[in-house]
Amino acid sequence: MAVCKQLRWFTLTVGVLVAMVVAGTASAARPMNTGVEIYSGDAGNMTANIANAFPKVSLAGAKYTRLVLVWRNVSPSPGSTSLPVPVSALDNPATYNWTTFDAYVSTAVNNGLTPLITVWQAPRWAENRTTELARAGTVRPIPAYFRAFATAAATHYRALYPTKSFAWEAWNEPNLKYFLMPQKNPDGSWHSPAMYRSLLNAFYTGIQAADPGGRVVAGSTAPFGHSGQPGALLFLRKVLCLSNLNRPVSGCGADPAHADAWSTHPYTSGGPTHHAYSPNDVSLGDLGRMHKALVAAIRSGHLKSSHAPIQFWVSEFGWDSKGPDPGGVPLSLHARWTSEALYRAWRAGVSVFIFHQLRDRPVPGYAYQAGLYFCGAAALTDDSTCEKTTTSFDLDKAKPALRAATFPFTAFAANGRITIWGRTPSSLAGKTIVIERRTRSGYRRLFTMTSNGVGIFTKRFSSRLTSGFLRARMVSPSMASVPFSLAHIRDRPAKPWGSVLN
Protein backbone atom coordinates (compact mmCIF):
# COMPACT_ATOMS: atom_id res chain seq x y z
CA MET A 1 0.00 0.00 0.00
CA ALA A 2 2.81 2.37 0.92
CA VAL A 3 4.59 1.53 -2.33
CA CYS A 4 1.42 2.32 -4.32
CA LYS A 5 1.11 5.67 -2.54
CA GLN A 6 4.75 6.46 -3.30
CA LEU A 7 4.28 5.51 -6.94
CA ARG A 8 1.18 7.68 -7.16
CA TRP A 9 3.04 10.53 -5.48
CA PHE A 10 5.97 10.11 -7.89
CA THR A 11 3.66 9.99 -10.93
CA LEU A 12 1.75 13.10 -9.83
CA THR A 13 4.97 14.95 -9.03
CA VAL A 14 6.49 14.15 -12.41
CA GLY A 15 3.22 15.15 -14.07
CA VAL A 16 3.22 18.49 -12.26
CA LEU A 17 6.87 19.12 -13.16
CA VAL A 18 6.24 18.26 -16.80
CA ALA A 19 3.21 20.56 -16.82
CA MET A 20 5.33 23.34 -15.32
CA VAL A 21 8.04 22.85 -17.93
CA VAL A 22 5.50 22.81 -20.76
CA ALA A 23 3.81 25.91 -19.36
CA GLY A 24 7.15 27.68 -19.03
CA THR A 25 8.15 26.74 -22.56
CA ALA A 26 4.81 27.89 -23.94
CA SER A 27 5.12 31.14 -22.01
CA ALA A 28 8.60 31.82 -23.35
CA ALA A 29 7.41 31.10 -26.88
CA ARG A 30 4.44 33.47 -26.64
CA PRO A 31 5.06 36.72 -28.50
CA MET A 32 4.58 40.24 -27.21
CA ASN A 33 3.62 42.06 -30.38
CA THR A 34 2.78 45.73 -30.07
CA GLY A 35 0.64 48.22 -31.92
CA VAL A 36 -0.44 51.85 -31.85
CA GLU A 37 -3.89 53.26 -32.44
CA ILE A 38 -4.50 55.89 -35.10
CA TYR A 39 -8.04 57.13 -34.57
CA SER A 40 -9.43 57.34 -38.07
CA GLY A 41 -12.81 58.58 -36.86
CA ASP A 42 -11.28 61.81 -35.59
CA ALA A 43 -10.93 64.83 -37.88
CA GLY A 44 -8.45 66.46 -35.52
CA ASN A 45 -4.69 66.42 -35.26
CA MET A 46 -4.37 62.69 -34.61
CA THR A 47 -5.08 62.00 -38.26
CA ALA A 48 -3.87 65.04 -40.16
CA ASN A 49 -1.18 63.75 -42.53
CA ILE A 50 -1.34 60.00 -42.13
CA ALA A 51 1.60 59.61 -44.51
CA ASN A 52 3.87 60.68 -41.64
CA ALA A 53 1.94 58.95 -38.87
CA PHE A 54 2.13 55.33 -39.97
CA PRO A 55 5.89 55.27 -40.64
CA LYS A 56 6.36 56.34 -37.02
CA VAL A 57 4.14 53.50 -35.86
CA SER A 58 6.27 51.07 -37.85
CA LEU A 59 9.52 52.57 -36.54
CA ALA A 60 8.20 52.02 -33.00
CA GLY A 61 8.58 48.28 -33.61
CA ALA A 62 4.83 47.80 -33.90
CA LYS A 63 3.21 45.03 -35.92
CA TYR A 64 -0.36 46.29 -35.56
CA THR A 65 -2.21 49.54 -35.84
CA ARG A 66 -5.69 49.95 -34.44
CA LEU A 67 -8.13 51.77 -36.74
CA VAL A 68 -11.68 52.64 -35.71
CA LEU A 69 -14.21 52.07 -38.50
CA VAL A 70 -17.41 53.93 -37.72
CA TRP A 71 -20.10 51.79 -39.33
CA ARG A 72 -22.62 54.60 -39.76
CA ASN A 73 -20.06 56.81 -41.55
CA VAL A 74 -19.46 54.39 -44.43
CA SER A 75 -22.79 52.59 -44.63
CA PRO A 76 -25.29 53.46 -47.35
CA SER A 77 -28.75 54.76 -46.59
CA PRO A 78 -31.39 52.33 -47.78
CA GLY A 79 -33.58 55.33 -48.60
CA SER A 80 -35.51 55.25 -45.37
CA THR A 81 -34.82 55.31 -41.66
CA SER A 82 -37.79 53.10 -40.99
CA LEU A 83 -37.45 49.44 -40.12
CA PRO A 84 -37.19 46.79 -41.33
CA VAL A 85 -34.56 47.15 -44.05
CA PRO A 86 -33.83 44.08 -46.22
CA VAL A 87 -30.47 42.65 -45.20
CA SER A 88 -29.90 41.62 -48.81
CA ALA A 89 -29.65 45.32 -49.70
CA LEU A 90 -26.55 45.64 -47.53
CA ASP A 91 -24.38 42.75 -48.73
CA ASN A 92 -22.74 44.49 -51.71
CA PRO A 93 -19.45 46.15 -50.69
CA ALA A 94 -19.73 48.50 -53.68
CA THR A 95 -22.65 50.29 -52.06
CA TYR A 96 -20.46 51.55 -49.19
CA ASN A 97 -18.29 54.65 -49.12
CA TRP A 98 -14.86 53.25 -48.26
CA THR A 99 -12.77 56.11 -49.70
CA THR A 100 -11.61 57.84 -46.50
CA PHE A 101 -11.00 54.64 -44.56
CA ASP A 102 -9.19 53.04 -47.51
CA ALA A 103 -6.51 55.73 -47.21
CA TYR A 104 -5.76 54.70 -43.63
CA VAL A 105 -5.70 51.00 -44.44
CA SER A 106 -3.50 51.32 -47.51
CA THR A 107 -0.97 53.56 -45.73
CA ALA A 108 -0.85 51.16 -42.79
CA VAL A 109 -0.34 48.11 -45.01
CA ASN A 110 2.30 49.91 -47.09
CA ASN A 111 4.24 50.48 -43.87
CA GLY A 112 4.22 46.79 -42.99
CA LEU A 113 1.46 47.02 -40.39
CA THR A 114 -1.51 44.71 -39.84
CA PRO A 115 -4.69 46.69 -39.21
CA LEU A 116 -6.85 45.86 -36.21
CA ILE A 117 -10.13 47.31 -37.45
CA THR A 118 -12.55 48.13 -34.62
CA VAL A 119 -16.11 48.38 -35.91
CA TRP A 120 -18.88 50.10 -33.96
CA GLN A 121 -21.65 52.75 -34.02
CA ALA A 122 -24.58 51.55 -36.09
CA PRO A 123 -26.58 53.54 -38.64
CA ARG A 124 -29.94 54.70 -37.31
CA TRP A 125 -31.81 52.13 -39.39
CA ALA A 126 -29.66 49.34 -37.89
CA GLU A 127 -30.67 50.20 -34.32
CA ASN A 128 -33.69 48.80 -32.55
CA ARG A 129 -34.29 52.17 -30.94
CA THR A 130 -37.59 53.42 -29.56
CA THR A 131 -37.46 56.61 -27.49
CA GLU A 132 -34.09 56.23 -25.78
CA LEU A 133 -32.00 59.34 -25.36
CA ALA A 134 -28.57 57.90 -26.09
CA ARG A 135 -25.56 58.41 -28.33
CA ALA A 136 -26.29 57.69 -31.99
CA GLY A 137 -25.45 54.17 -33.06
CA THR A 138 -25.49 52.60 -29.59
CA VAL A 139 -29.05 51.34 -28.95
CA ARG A 140 -29.72 47.64 -29.59
CA PRO A 141 -27.78 47.25 -32.86
CA ILE A 142 -29.41 44.55 -34.96
CA PRO A 143 -27.12 41.50 -35.31
CA ALA A 144 -28.24 40.60 -38.85
CA TYR A 145 -27.21 44.04 -40.10
CA PHE A 146 -23.92 43.83 -38.20
CA ARG A 147 -23.21 40.50 -39.89
CA ALA A 148 -23.99 41.96 -43.31
CA PHE A 149 -21.65 44.88 -42.70
CA ALA A 150 -18.87 42.58 -41.47
CA THR A 151 -19.20 40.50 -44.63
CA ALA A 152 -19.14 43.60 -46.84
CA ALA A 153 -16.10 45.07 -45.06
CA ALA A 154 -14.09 41.83 -45.12
CA THR A 155 -15.03 41.24 -48.76
CA HIS A 156 -13.89 44.73 -49.72
CA TYR A 157 -10.49 44.46 -48.06
CA ARG A 158 -9.94 40.89 -49.14
CA ALA A 159 -10.41 42.07 -52.73
CA LEU A 160 -7.89 44.89 -52.24
CA TYR A 161 -5.37 42.72 -50.38
CA PRO A 162 -5.91 39.11 -51.54
CA THR A 163 -2.80 37.81 -49.78
CA LYS A 164 -3.47 39.51 -46.43
CA SER A 165 -5.94 38.95 -43.63
CA PHE A 166 -6.71 41.60 -41.04
CA ALA A 167 -7.78 41.53 -37.41
CA TRP A 168 -11.34 42.71 -36.72
CA GLU A 169 -12.60 43.91 -33.33
CA ALA A 170 -16.33 43.63 -32.65
CA TRP A 171 -17.41 46.95 -31.09
CA ASN A 172 -15.63 49.22 -28.62
CA GLU A 173 -16.10 49.06 -24.84
CA PRO A 174 -19.52 47.40 -24.98
CA ASN A 175 -19.71 47.33 -21.17
CA LEU A 176 -20.24 51.11 -21.11
CA LYS A 177 -23.57 52.77 -21.89
CA TYR A 178 -21.74 55.46 -23.86
CA PHE A 179 -21.01 52.75 -26.46
CA LEU A 180 -23.83 50.21 -26.09
CA MET A 181 -27.36 50.56 -24.69
CA PRO A 182 -29.12 49.38 -22.64
CA GLN A 183 -26.76 47.86 -20.12
CA LYS A 184 -29.59 46.60 -17.88
CA ASN A 185 -33.11 45.28 -18.26
CA PRO A 186 -36.05 47.01 -16.51
CA ASP A 187 -35.91 44.35 -13.77
CA GLY A 188 -32.28 45.22 -13.02
CA SER A 189 -30.71 42.15 -14.63
CA TRP A 190 -27.89 42.55 -17.13
CA HIS A 191 -28.92 43.06 -20.75
CA SER A 192 -25.66 44.05 -22.48
CA PRO A 193 -23.71 40.75 -22.15
CA ALA A 194 -26.24 38.61 -24.05
CA MET A 195 -26.82 41.41 -26.56
CA TYR A 196 -23.09 41.66 -27.15
CA ARG A 197 -22.75 37.88 -27.55
CA SER A 198 -25.35 38.00 -30.33
CA LEU A 199 -23.55 40.90 -32.02
CA LEU A 200 -20.19 39.15 -31.68
CA ASN A 201 -21.39 35.89 -33.19
CA ALA A 202 -23.07 37.70 -36.08
CA PHE A 203 -19.86 39.66 -36.69
CA TYR A 204 -17.75 36.50 -36.52
CA THR A 205 -19.98 34.74 -39.05
CA GLY A 206 -19.79 37.73 -41.38
CA ILE A 207 -16.00 38.05 -41.25
CA GLN A 208 -15.40 34.32 -41.66
CA ALA A 209 -17.77 34.12 -44.63
CA ALA A 210 -15.69 36.65 -46.56
CA ASP A 211 -12.21 35.99 -45.18
CA PRO A 212 -11.65 32.70 -43.34
CA GLY A 213 -8.16 33.88 -42.42
CA GLY A 214 -9.44 37.01 -40.70
CA ARG A 215 -9.13 37.09 -36.92
CA VAL A 216 -12.02 38.39 -34.82
CA VAL A 217 -11.23 40.05 -31.50
CA ALA A 218 -13.98 40.16 -28.87
CA GLY A 219 -14.35 42.15 -25.69
CA SER A 220 -12.61 45.51 -26.09
CA THR A 221 -13.80 46.12 -22.55
CA ALA A 222 -13.43 49.31 -20.54
CA PRO A 223 -11.73 48.55 -17.20
CA PHE A 224 -14.19 49.97 -14.70
CA GLY A 225 -17.88 49.39 -14.09
CA HIS A 226 -20.06 51.97 -12.36
CA SER A 227 -23.58 53.42 -12.39
CA GLY A 228 -25.24 50.27 -13.68
CA GLN A 229 -22.42 49.24 -16.00
CA PRO A 230 -20.46 45.99 -15.56
CA GLY A 231 -16.71 46.00 -14.98
CA ALA A 232 -14.48 44.25 -17.51
CA LEU A 233 -14.21 40.93 -15.64
CA LEU A 234 -17.90 40.77 -14.78
CA PHE A 235 -18.78 41.50 -18.42
CA LEU A 236 -16.47 38.73 -19.68
CA ARG A 237 -18.03 36.23 -17.28
CA LYS A 238 -21.56 37.21 -18.27
CA VAL A 239 -20.80 37.08 -22.01
CA LEU A 240 -19.02 33.72 -21.67
CA CYS A 241 -21.45 32.26 -19.10
CA LEU A 242 -19.13 31.81 -16.13
CA SER A 243 -19.78 32.12 -12.43
CA ASN A 244 -17.71 34.35 -10.14
CA LEU A 245 -15.57 31.25 -9.56
CA ASN A 246 -15.07 30.78 -13.33
CA ARG A 247 -17.32 27.74 -13.44
CA PRO A 248 -19.62 27.28 -16.45
CA VAL A 249 -23.24 28.29 -15.95
CA SER A 250 -26.25 28.12 -18.25
CA GLY A 251 -27.04 30.94 -20.63
CA CYS A 252 -24.82 30.41 -23.66
CA GLY A 253 -27.15 27.73 -25.03
CA ALA A 254 -26.43 26.07 -28.34
CA ASP A 255 -24.59 29.13 -29.67
CA PRO A 256 -21.61 29.99 -27.44
CA ALA A 257 -19.46 33.01 -28.14
CA HIS A 258 -17.07 32.81 -31.09
CA ALA A 259 -13.84 34.81 -31.30
CA ASP A 260 -10.13 34.35 -31.98
CA ALA A 261 -9.00 36.65 -29.18
CA TRP A 262 -10.43 38.52 -26.20
CA SER A 263 -9.25 42.10 -25.64
CA THR A 264 -9.45 44.58 -22.80
CA HIS A 265 -8.35 48.13 -21.93
CA PRO A 266 -6.69 47.77 -18.49
CA TYR A 267 -6.29 51.44 -17.55
CA THR A 268 -5.09 51.90 -14.01
CA SER A 269 -5.01 54.53 -11.28
CA GLY A 270 -1.50 53.37 -10.36
CA GLY A 271 1.48 51.57 -11.81
CA PRO A 272 1.90 48.30 -13.73
CA THR A 273 1.03 46.10 -10.74
CA HIS A 274 -1.89 48.20 -9.52
CA HIS A 275 -5.19 46.42 -8.91
CA ALA A 276 -8.61 47.87 -9.58
CA TYR A 277 -10.67 48.69 -6.51
CA SER A 278 -13.58 46.43 -7.48
CA PRO A 279 -13.07 42.67 -8.04
CA ASN A 280 -15.28 43.05 -11.12
CA ASP A 281 -12.90 45.52 -12.77
CA VAL A 282 -9.61 44.94 -14.60
CA SER A 283 -6.54 47.16 -14.38
CA LEU A 284 -3.03 46.09 -15.38
CA GLY A 285 -2.52 44.24 -12.12
CA ASP A 286 -5.68 42.19 -12.72
CA LEU A 287 -4.84 40.82 -16.18
CA GLY A 288 -3.88 37.46 -14.71
CA ARG A 289 -7.35 37.08 -13.17
CA MET A 290 -8.99 37.90 -16.49
CA HIS A 291 -6.76 35.41 -18.30
CA LYS A 292 -7.81 32.66 -15.88
CA ALA A 293 -11.46 33.40 -16.62
CA LEU A 294 -10.75 33.35 -20.35
CA VAL A 295 -9.01 29.98 -20.08
CA ALA A 296 -11.96 28.61 -18.10
CA ALA A 297 -14.38 29.76 -20.79
CA ILE A 298 -12.32 28.10 -23.52
CA ARG A 299 -12.08 24.85 -21.59
CA SER A 300 -15.83 24.83 -20.95
CA GLY A 301 -16.59 25.37 -24.65
CA HIS A 302 -18.22 28.74 -23.98
CA LEU A 303 -15.72 30.49 -26.26
CA LYS A 304 -14.85 28.87 -29.58
CA SER A 305 -12.68 29.77 -32.53
CA SER A 306 -11.81 28.61 -36.03
CA HIS A 307 -8.21 29.55 -35.24
CA ALA A 308 -6.22 28.05 -32.38
CA PRO A 309 -5.12 29.03 -29.87
CA ILE A 310 -7.50 31.77 -28.74
CA GLN A 311 -5.38 34.75 -27.68
CA PHE A 312 -5.55 37.45 -25.01
CA TRP A 313 -5.00 41.05 -26.18
CA VAL A 314 -4.74 44.55 -24.77
CA SER A 315 -6.21 46.69 -27.53
CA GLU A 316 -5.92 50.07 -25.79
CA PHE A 317 -3.70 51.38 -23.00
CA GLY A 318 -1.60 54.33 -21.88
CA TRP A 319 -0.64 56.73 -19.10
CA ASP A 320 -0.62 60.49 -19.55
CA SER A 321 2.88 61.87 -19.13
CA LYS A 322 4.15 64.96 -17.31
CA GLY A 323 4.63 67.00 -19.52
CA PRO A 324 2.60 68.00 -21.14
CA ASP A 325 -0.09 67.05 -18.61
CA PRO A 326 0.70 68.56 -15.20
CA GLY A 327 -1.11 65.62 -13.56
CA GLY A 328 0.62 62.93 -15.60
CA VAL A 329 3.42 60.46 -14.81
CA PRO A 330 6.98 61.94 -14.75
CA LEU A 331 8.80 61.12 -17.98
CA SER A 332 11.48 58.80 -16.55
CA LEU A 333 8.87 56.80 -14.62
CA HIS A 334 6.61 56.86 -17.68
CA ALA A 335 9.34 55.07 -19.67
CA ARG A 336 9.99 52.50 -16.92
CA TRP A 337 6.29 51.78 -16.52
CA THR A 338 5.91 51.35 -20.29
CA SER A 339 8.52 48.56 -20.33
CA GLU A 340 7.08 47.00 -17.20
CA ALA A 341 3.51 47.15 -18.52
CA LEU A 342 4.55 45.03 -21.49
CA TYR A 343 6.32 42.54 -19.21
CA ARG A 344 3.44 42.26 -16.73
CA ALA A 345 0.93 41.86 -19.55
CA TRP A 346 3.08 39.17 -21.19
CA ARG A 347 3.35 37.28 -17.92
CA ALA A 348 -0.44 37.44 -17.61
CA GLY A 349 -0.90 35.76 -20.99
CA VAL A 350 -1.20 38.78 -23.31
CA SER A 351 0.33 38.39 -26.78
CA VAL A 352 -0.67 41.72 -28.40
CA PHE A 353 -0.48 45.12 -26.64
CA ILE A 354 -1.70 48.26 -28.41
CA PHE A 355 -0.90 51.76 -27.19
CA HIS A 356 -3.76 54.22 -27.27
CA GLN A 357 -1.90 57.11 -28.92
CA LEU A 358 1.00 57.78 -31.22
CA ARG A 359 1.14 61.45 -30.22
CA ASP A 360 -0.39 63.64 -27.54
CA ARG A 361 -3.45 65.74 -28.04
CA PRO A 362 -2.72 69.43 -27.50
CA VAL A 363 -3.07 70.91 -24.01
CA PRO A 364 -5.39 72.32 -22.75
CA GLY A 365 -7.82 71.70 -25.58
CA TYR A 366 -7.86 67.91 -25.18
CA ALA A 367 -7.60 65.46 -22.30
CA TYR A 368 -5.33 62.73 -23.73
CA GLN A 369 -1.56 62.98 -23.44
CA ALA A 370 -0.52 59.31 -23.40
CA GLY A 371 1.33 59.44 -26.71
CA LEU A 372 4.75 58.05 -27.54
CA TYR A 373 5.48 61.48 -29.04
CA PHE A 374 4.83 64.98 -27.80
CA CYS A 375 2.59 67.02 -30.05
CA GLY A 376 5.00 69.40 -31.73
CA ALA A 377 8.57 70.30 -30.81
CA ALA A 378 7.64 71.45 -27.31
CA ALA A 379 5.99 69.38 -24.62
CA LEU A 380 3.75 72.05 -23.23
CA THR A 381 1.29 74.15 -25.15
CA ASP A 382 -1.53 74.21 -27.67
CA ASP A 383 0.36 76.55 -30.01
CA SER A 384 1.23 76.87 -33.69
CA THR A 385 3.57 73.86 -33.60
CA CYS A 386 0.70 71.63 -32.56
CA GLU A 387 -2.50 72.76 -34.23
CA LYS A 388 -5.77 70.98 -33.71
CA THR A 389 -6.58 70.31 -37.36
CA THR A 390 -3.38 70.21 -39.44
CA THR A 391 0.17 69.23 -38.68
CA SER A 392 2.94 67.45 -40.54
CA PHE A 393 4.15 65.42 -37.54
CA ASP A 394 7.64 66.52 -38.56
CA LEU A 395 8.20 68.58 -35.41
CA ASP A 396 7.00 65.92 -33.00
CA LYS A 397 9.52 65.04 -30.30
CA ALA A 398 9.83 61.47 -29.06
CA LYS A 399 9.24 60.73 -25.39
CA PRO A 400 11.56 58.34 -23.52
CA ALA A 401 8.61 55.91 -23.54
CA LEU A 402 9.03 55.48 -27.30
CA ARG A 403 12.27 53.55 -26.83
CA ALA A 404 10.71 51.59 -23.96
CA ALA A 405 7.83 50.55 -26.23
CA THR A 406 10.18 49.72 -29.10
CA PHE A 407 12.73 47.76 -27.06
CA PRO A 408 11.17 46.89 -23.68
CA PHE A 409 13.47 45.57 -20.97
CA THR A 410 12.95 44.91 -17.25
CA ALA A 411 15.21 43.73 -14.42
CA PHE A 412 13.96 42.90 -10.91
CA ALA A 413 16.19 42.02 -7.96
CA ALA A 414 14.85 39.88 -5.10
CA ASN A 415 16.18 37.20 -2.74
CA GLY A 416 19.66 37.13 -4.20
CA ARG A 417 18.46 36.76 -7.78
CA ILE A 418 17.76 39.05 -10.71
CA THR A 419 15.03 38.31 -13.22
CA ILE A 420 15.37 39.98 -16.60
CA TRP A 421 12.94 40.07 -19.51
CA GLY A 422 12.95 41.85 -22.82
CA ARG A 423 11.69 41.84 -26.38
CA THR A 424 13.68 42.92 -29.40
CA PRO A 425 12.42 45.72 -31.66
CA SER A 426 9.83 44.32 -34.08
CA SER A 427 10.16 40.96 -32.26
CA LEU A 428 13.33 40.11 -34.17
CA ALA A 429 14.35 36.47 -33.67
CA GLY A 430 17.85 35.10 -33.12
CA LYS A 431 19.41 38.43 -32.17
CA THR A 432 22.47 38.67 -29.94
CA ILE A 433 21.61 40.60 -26.78
CA VAL A 434 24.25 41.91 -24.39
CA ILE A 435 23.09 42.51 -20.80
CA GLU A 436 25.08 45.38 -19.29
CA ARG A 437 25.44 47.06 -15.90
CA ARG A 438 25.92 50.80 -15.63
CA THR A 439 29.12 51.85 -13.83
CA ARG A 440 30.84 55.19 -13.24
CA SER A 441 32.98 54.64 -16.30
CA GLY A 442 30.18 53.45 -18.58
CA TYR A 443 28.45 50.13 -19.16
CA ARG A 444 30.07 46.81 -18.26
CA ARG A 445 29.07 43.58 -19.94
CA LEU A 446 27.51 40.91 -17.70
CA PHE A 447 26.61 38.22 -20.22
CA THR A 448 25.24 37.62 -23.71
CA MET A 449 22.06 35.84 -24.75
CA THR A 450 19.96 35.31 -27.87
CA SER A 451 16.34 36.28 -28.51
CA ASN A 452 14.01 33.38 -29.23
CA GLY A 453 11.80 32.83 -32.27
CA VAL A 454 9.37 35.57 -31.25
CA GLY A 455 12.01 38.06 -30.09
CA ILE A 456 11.71 37.35 -26.36
CA PHE A 457 14.73 36.94 -24.10
CA THR A 458 14.43 36.13 -20.39
CA LYS A 459 16.76 34.84 -17.69
CA ARG A 460 16.97 34.48 -13.93
CA PHE A 461 20.41 34.47 -12.34
CA SER A 462 22.08 34.75 -8.94
CA SER A 463 23.32 38.20 -7.97
CA ARG A 464 23.82 40.30 -4.84
CA LEU A 465 22.97 43.49 -6.71
CA THR A 466 19.91 45.32 -5.39
CA SER A 467 20.56 48.77 -6.85
CA GLY A 468 22.00 50.37 -9.94
CA PHE A 469 20.85 50.05 -13.54
CA LEU A 470 20.91 47.27 -16.12
CA ARG A 471 20.17 47.56 -19.79
CA ALA A 472 19.92 45.30 -22.84
CA ARG A 473 21.87 46.10 -25.99
CA MET A 474 21.11 44.50 -29.33
CA VAL A 475 24.30 44.07 -31.35
CA SER A 476 22.87 44.22 -34.89
CA PRO A 477 21.12 46.45 -35.68
CA SER A 478 22.67 48.37 -32.84
CA MET A 479 20.18 49.60 -30.25
CA ALA A 480 20.04 49.84 -26.46
CA SER A 481 17.02 49.67 -24.18
CA VAL A 482 16.12 52.29 -21.61
CA PRO A 483 18.23 51.54 -18.49
CA PHE A 484 16.11 49.81 -15.83
CA SER A 485 16.72 50.44 -12.13
CA LEU A 486 17.12 47.40 -9.89
CA ALA A 487 15.82 49.41 -6.95
CA HIS A 488 12.26 48.58 -5.96
CA ILE A 489 9.82 51.26 -7.14
CA ARG A 490 6.70 51.47 -5.04
CA ASP A 491 3.29 51.77 -6.61
CA ARG A 492 1.99 55.33 -6.66
CA PRO A 493 -1.28 57.03 -7.63
CA ALA A 494 -1.59 57.88 -11.31
CA LYS A 495 -4.78 59.14 -12.91
CA PRO A 496 -5.53 57.05 -16.01
CA TRP A 497 -6.19 60.09 -18.17
CA GLY A 498 -4.13 62.70 -16.36
CA SER A 499 -5.41 65.88 -14.78
CA VAL A 500 -7.71 67.34 -17.41
CA LEU A 501 -10.52 64.79 -17.04
CA ASN A 502 -10.04 64.08 -13.33
Residues above pLDDT 70, as percent of the chain: 85
Q: Do residues 347 and 307 make contact, with C-beta atoms less than 8 angstroms apart? A: no
The whole-number average pLDDT for the span 184-202 is 97
Interval 433-471: pLDDT, tens: 999 999 999 999 999 999 999 999 999 999 999 999 999
Residue 323 preceded by cis peptide, ω within 30: yes
**Threshold 0.85, pTM exceeds:** yes
For residue 404, pLDDT over 60 is answered with: yes
CATH of the domain spanning 404-485: 2.60.40.10
Q: Which residues fall within 8 angstroms of residue 276, CB to CB, at 6 or more apart?
A: 223, 224, 231, 268, 282, 283, 285, 286
Residues 470, 444: Cα–Cα separation, whole Å:
9
Q: Which residues fall within 8 angstroms of residue 288, CB to CB, at 6 or more apart?
A: 347, 348, 349
Residues 202, 86: Cα–Cα separation, whole Å:
16
Q: How far is CA 141 from CA 40, 138, 147, 173, 413, in A?
A: 22, 7, 11, 14, 51
What is the residue extent of each domain of the chain?
Answer: 1-28, 75-96+116-317, 404-485
Residues 73, 101: Cα–Cα separation, whole Å:
10
DSSP 53: H
At how many degrees (to 10) do helices 143-160 and 99-110 cross?
A: 50
Confidence band, pLDDT 50/70/90 cuts, at residue 42: very low
Predicted pLDDT at 23: 36
Mean pLDDT lowest for which of 73-82, 87-96, 185-194, 379-388?
Answer: 379-388
Q: Do residues 470 and 438 make contact, with C-beta atoms less than 8 angstroms apart? A: yes
Task: Compare 149 and 15 and report the one with higher pLDDT.
Answer: 149
Residues 157, 6: Cα–Cα separation, whole Å:
61
Residues 14, 144: Cα–Cα separation, whole Å:
51
Following DSSP, what letter does each residue of 203-249 receive, concatenated?
HHHHHHHH-TT-EEEEEEE-S---SS---HHHHHHHHTTB-TTS-B-
Confidence band, pLDDT 50/70/90 cuts, at residue 88: low
The whole-number average pLDDT for the span 314-336 is 94
The whole-number average pLDDT for the span 330-357 is 97
For residue 40, pLDDT over 80 is answered with: no
Reduced to 3 DSSP states, what percent helix, strand and coil does the chain have, rounded to the nearest 5?
Answer: 30, 20, 50
Mean pLDDT of the chain: 87
Q: Which residues fall within 8 angstroms of residue 282, CB to CB, at 6 or more apart?
A: 221, 223, 231, 232, 233, 264, 266, 276, 289, 290
